[in-house]
Structure formats: C-alpha cells, structure tokens
Chains A and B, each alone.
Chain A
Amino acid sequence: MTASEQDFLNNPLGTKTTLEDVLDAFEFLDDWEERYAYIIDLGKQLPAFPDDGRIEENYVHGCQSQVWLIHHFDEASGKLYLLIDSDAMIVRGLAAIILVALNGKAPRELLTTDIDELFEQLDLFRHISPTRGNGLRAMVSKIRDIAATEAA
C-alpha cells in the first residue's frame, strides 16, 4: 500500500481532533490510569500507515519501539501533512498528541510552535521516562527538519 494525497489530508489529528480538544480532555483526567487510557485511545486515531513507508529513510531513531514518519507538502494550501506509525500503543498515543499540535500547518507556523511547552502544559514529561522523552524529541526534531526543508 502506498499513501495517496487523500490519506494525508484525511488524517483527523490536528484537523478534526484539535489541540483544544486534547487540552480540554486532559483537564478531567485525574490519575495515571485515566491519563494513559486517553493517550492509548488517541493513538487509535492514527490513520493506517502505508507498508512502503516502513523504510530506513523514514525511521525515527532514538525510540525504544519502532517509529516511522512520512510527510506530504500540499502545494495548493502550503501546508505540511504527516503520518506516523509505531508498534507500541503509548508511543502511538504520544505521536497523536504531536500530530494534533503540528499536523496540517504551514511549515513556518510549525517551526514557531513550542512543543516542549505543550508537553509541560499536559504535564506529560514528568510522567515520561527520559528514554521515552528522547524518543518524543527525536520525532519532533525529525518533523522540524522536514518543515525547515519545506520552508526554505
């Protein structure tokens, strides 16, 4: 399977599911169980990932699990669309949060988004081990590299 332009545009994360939705939901989560149940649910919204996208070039190094990331730059709207895949459920959920914040934005706008601040707002880093934090940062920095290339 190869991803079509439509597959990128149909990704609900960052389009249908917005950052506000996630921030609102997080307010009502009391303990780790609710928090992680929600993160796992978000991960289920990641659209299907194309088989031919799982190649070294798209691999995100630095994660404990396997993570792949592909992108499509929509010339018409000037926006950058992303798809992420992972074999671990919690990583999928965290990837979904990243996409909610960064997917479907103009590259320049993306580059001004402070993702660390978002994770602090969600109180996520405190609950995430440094090794996992590194994986998150690896995903974000790969996305920023792509945005920087497209913005240039």
Chain B
Amino acid sequence: MTDLSVANTANQPALDVEAIRRDFPILSQQVNGKPLVYLDNGASAQKPVAVLDAMDRYYREMHSNVHRGAHTLGDRATSAFEGARETVRGFLNAASTREIIWTRGTTEAINLVANGLAPRLQSGDEILVTQMEHHANIVPWQMVAERTGAKVIPIPVTPAGELELDSFHSLLNERTKVLAVAHVSNVLGTVNPIAALINEAKKRGIITLVDGAQAVPHYQPDVQALDCDFYAFSSHKMFGPTGIGVLYGKSHLLEEMPPYQGGGEMIERVSFERTTWNTLPYKFEAGTPAIAEAVGLGAAIDYLGSLDRKAMEAAESALLIRANDLVESVPGMEIIGTATDKVPVISFKIAGLHPSDIGTLLDQQGIAIRTGHHCAMPLMDFYGVPGTARASFAFYNTLNEVEQLFTALQKIQRLFA
C-alpha cells in the first residue's frame, strides 16, 4: 500500500454500523436469553428491510407470471424481473443482460456450466480446480468427468491457505480444458489472485469459471476486467433472498452450450418433429422463475450500492484485525487460513476442544457460528482436521461482537478446565 492510500483510509468517514444494524431487523433479537451475535454470514447472510420490502411490495402490487400475460400485472412483474436482471448486469459490469442467467444459486450455476461444457470434453482432458474448493465446485466437475473420461485435478494450497502458484503453472498443459476456482475460500477467507490465474489460463485457451459465492458479500467483481468466461454466485450470501443465484457467462459460450433443463420458457418452438431453443438468457431458464427472489436480489444489490464501499471494506478489515489480535487471549487457539489477502473469516481450532462442542457452547451464549467440514472435505483432509469452527463476519458486525466471541471462547475453555 502506498502512503497516499493510507492517508485516504484515515480520512475516510467511518461506516455508521449502528445505523446499518437498524436496517437488519433480525439482528436485534435475543437468542437463549442473550443478544444475538450473528457470525455465520458465510453460510447465509441476513436481509435488510429494503429487500424484505421489495419482495413484499412485489407480491402486494405486481405479482403475476412473467413474459406471458397480456395484462398489466404481467407487464409489471416482467419489468420488475427484467429490471433486477439489469441491476445484476450493472453490478458485475457484464456486457449484456443476455449473459445473466438466473439459477437457484451457485451450485446450480456450476452444474449448468459443467453440463454445458461436457460436449467439449474428451477422455484425458483435465479440469483444474483447487484443494480449497467448496464441494459445489468439485462434485459437478467429477460428475461430468465421469461421463466424459476427463480428470479433475486440484491445485495444491500452502499451509497458510494460499494457492501454490508454482504448482498451478506446472499443472497447466495442453490437456487442461477448464479452470474452476473460488474467488474467495469459504473456509479460509483467502482471496485468490483470480485475475492472474485467468490471465494465464486465457493464454492457453482454457475456459475459466469463478465461484464468487464468498466474494460478492465483500467485493464487487468486474467480469469484463477479469475476463473470466463464467462467474457464479448466490443471492442469499450477499444479503438477498434464498432460492436464487446468478450465472454470468460470455455469450459465445452460452450460445454454444446445450440447454440444462427442458420445459416452458426456454423454447422458441416445440413440435414433435423439432423443438428449437429460445434466445439467451431464456434458453437456460426453463419453467416459471423465482420472480420475487430476483426482485429481492436486485434490492440487495441496490442496498449495497447505497453504502460506502471503501468504508465497508475498512470496517470489515478492522473486524479481522481485532479478531487476529485476540487469538492469543485464548490459549491453544489456532487460526486455519492466514493468507495475506483475506475477507473477515476465521476458521479455527482450539486444542482439546471439538468444533461441535465450541459451536454448542457459543450458541448457549447467543453467538452463532458454523462448525464442521464446511462442504470442503478435501481441504479438511489437507489440514488433517475433521472440521473447524468458523466465525464469518459481515459489515454489520461490530468490534464489540468480535470481543464477545473471544470472551465466550475463554468462558468455554474454563468450563472444560
């Protein structure tokens, strides 16, 4: 960081966390008789009033099926739905809304791509993923590999939880057809150098997919600047509703790929002799879509857009710094994932304590975290642990909540002493 940017950070107005917390009604409740401290944002984030209201208003004033009815409500629903698609396009800086496909989430988006790329894959081809992927970015590739005879190969990670870039370079070869990599690791918090990885892959004509599920709650990716072929994310982790997500894909690849599911909406003409597909993006959107959810996601993106991004990032990094500083106040506590570039997530273990014990006893104190393998079993194997405890922070968390987590951990340790 240059001196100038340090000065900028110092001058920047701080995020008004108390005001922001009032936007998230669920946060001001008691759990087990204690004020809720919600530190499981990596699993799913909470929703601001703006999202709740947008969905409520949609159902009260506009609901109808989209792209169909010859009536006013149908037009309203369609324009709210397509308006949300345009909002997503703007968020990602995609070239066209034809490249924005609604899916149920990251998982479905990756399955769609893996399935769509199957015709390109042959026996012996290689699909490069990483050791730190979520199962959602491993299993769909294994399934397509099973069908095509391709192989799924992981890029190793270092003990600190960063990708081994030397290994990445040596794994690239003429058989490598796909690179599928997380923008941000859900377990480690590591921000991967995806721009550099994509750049390398592109030189060799390798198709690139970025799993952005854990990135979009913290950053706004620019898919044209990244030049990735696909970028997938889920609404529910970025303060929007569940049940909807996004696949961004470059139009020439989406055009080439076969449809994922068949049914209404995705066709141009159906007959028993010959059925033809609808144009993008509808070719990949069979059936009645999650309309209210799309509208809710649009509202979540607008809400994030109304916040000061720089202040938000500064507040989040302050949470991470405080957490890291407090680690030594809990004897035997060890952070898994100490990359230099991290989002505010700490996976940890505490000597002598099982993660599930930690989770249960934090819950008793009103603190919600996640424990277990985090759908990243290959990464758990790499670290030789059955699971970890993970606290994942969002911009609405306070420094005081970070401190409460550590006070609660100290209390748990006394209980086991």
Report which A residues bind B (CB closer than 8 A): 32-33, 36-37, 40, 64-66, 87-91, 127-129, 132
Asked if A88 meets B364 with Cβ closer than 8 Å, knowing A32-B32, A36-B415, the reply is no
B14 interface hit (Cβ, 8 Å): no
Asked if A65 meets B415 with Cβ closer than 8 Å, knowing A32-B364, A36-B364, A127-B364, the reply is no
Q: How far is the CA of A42 from the CA of B334 in the complex (A)?
A: 28
Q: How large is the interface on B (under 10, 10 to 19, 20 to 34, 35 or more residues)?
A: 10 to 19
Name the 5 nearest CB pairs between A and B, nearest first: A88-B354, A32-B364, A64-B356, A88-B356, A65-B356
Q: Are A88 and B357 in contact (CB under 8 A)?
A: yes
Report the minimum CB–CB distance from A59 to chain B (whole Å).
13
Contact partners of A89 in chain B: CB under 8 A? 353-354, 357, 416
Contact partners of A90 in chain B: CB under 8 A? 354, 356-357, 360-361
Report the minimum CB–CB distance from B357 to chain A (whole Å).
5
Task: Determine the residue in chain A with the shortest Cβ distance to B34.
Answer: A32
Contact partners of B32 in chain A: CB under 8 A? 32, 127
Asked if A64 meets B372 with Cβ closer than 8 Å, knowing A36-B361, A40-B416, A132-B360, the reply is yes
Contact partners of A127 in chain B: CB under 8 A? 32, 364
B302 interface hit (Cβ, 8 Å): no
Task: Determine the residue in chain A with the shortest Cβ distance to B363.
Answer: A129
Task: Determine the residue in chain A with the shortest Cβ distance to B371.
Answer: A64
Q: Are A33 and B354 in contact (CB under 8 A)?
A: no
Total cross-chain contacts (CB, 8 A): 45
Q: Are B415 and A40 in contact (CB under 8 A)?
A: yes
Q: How far is the CA of A90 from the CA of B360 in the complex (A)?
A: 8
Contact partners of A128 in chain B: CB under 8 A? 360
Report the minimum CB–CB distance from A116 to chain B (whole Å).
20
Q: Are B356 and A91 in contact (CB under 8 A)?
A: yes
Contact partners of B159 in chain A: CB under 8 A? none
Contact partners of B371 in chain A: CB under 8 A? 64
Which residue, of A37, A40, A65, A66, has the highest number of chain B Cβ atoms within 10 A? A65
Report which B residues bind A (CB closer than 8 A): 32, 353-354, 356-357, 359-361, 363-365, 371-372, 386-387, 411, 415-416
**B354: contacting residue among A65, A129, A132, CB under 8 A:** A65
Q: How far is the CA of A40 from the CA of B360 in the complex (A)?
A: 12
Q: Are A87 and B361 in contact (CB under 8 A)?
A: no
Q: Are B386 and A87 in contact (CB under 8 A)?
A: yes
Report the minimum CB–CB distance from A135 to chain B (whole Å).
9
Report the minimum CB–CB distance from B37 to chain A (whole Å).
15
Q: How far is the CA of A90 from the CA of B361 in the complex (A)?
A: 9
Report the minimum CB–CB distance from B415 to chain A (whole Å).
6
Contact partners of A32 in chain B: CB under 8 A? 32, 364-365
Task: Determine the residue in chain B with the shortest Cβ distance to A32.
Answer: B364
Task: Determine the residue in chain B with the shortest Cβ distance to A64.
Answer: B356
Q: Are A37 and B415 in contact (CB under 8 A)?
A: yes
Which residue, of A33, A64, A128, A129, has the highest number of chain B Cβ atoms within 10 A? A64
> Apart from A32-B364, A127-B364, A129-B363, what 8 extra A-B contacts exist at CB < 8 Å?
A32-B365, A33-B411, A40-B416, A64-B359, A65-B354, A65-B386, A89-B357, A90-B356
Report the minimum CB–CB distance from B337 to chain A (whole Å).
21
Asked if A87 meets B354 with Cβ closer than 8 Å, knowing A36-B364, A129-B360, the reply is yes
Contact partners of B386 in chain A: CB under 8 A? 65-66, 87
Contact partners of A64 in chain B: CB under 8 A? 356, 359, 371-372, 387
Which residue, of B359, B360, B371, has the highest number of chain A Cβ atoms within 10 A? B360
Task: Determine the residue in chain A with the shortest Cβ distance to B361.
Answer: A36
Contact partners of B357 in chain A: CB under 8 A? 88-91
Contact partners of B411 in chain A: CB under 8 A? 33
Q: How far is the CA of A44 from the CA of B402 in the complex (A)?
A: 32
Contact partners of B363 in chain A: CB under 8 A? 129
Q: How far is the CA of A99 from the CA of B357 in the complex (A)?
A: 20
Q: How far is the CA of A143 from the CA of B144 in the complex (A)?
A: 41
Report the minimum CB–CB distance from A30 to chain B (whole Å).
12
Q: How far is the CA of A132 from the CA of B361 in the complex (A)?
A: 12
Q: How far is the CA of A90 from the CA of B387 in the complex (A)?
A: 16
Q: How far is the CA of A94 from the CA of B356 in the complex (A)?
A: 13
Task: Determine the residue in chain A with the shortest Cβ distance to B364.
Answer: A32
Task: Determine the residue in chain B with the shortest Cβ distance to A37.
Answer: B415
Report the minimum CB–CB distance from A126 to chain B (whole Å).
10
Q: How far is the CA of A65 from the CA of B389 in the complex (A)?
A: 13
Contact partners of B415 in chain A: CB under 8 A? 33, 36-37, 40
Q: How far is the CA of A32 from the CA of B361 in the complex (A)?
A: 9
Q: How far is the CA of A64 from the CA of B415 in the complex (A)?
A: 21
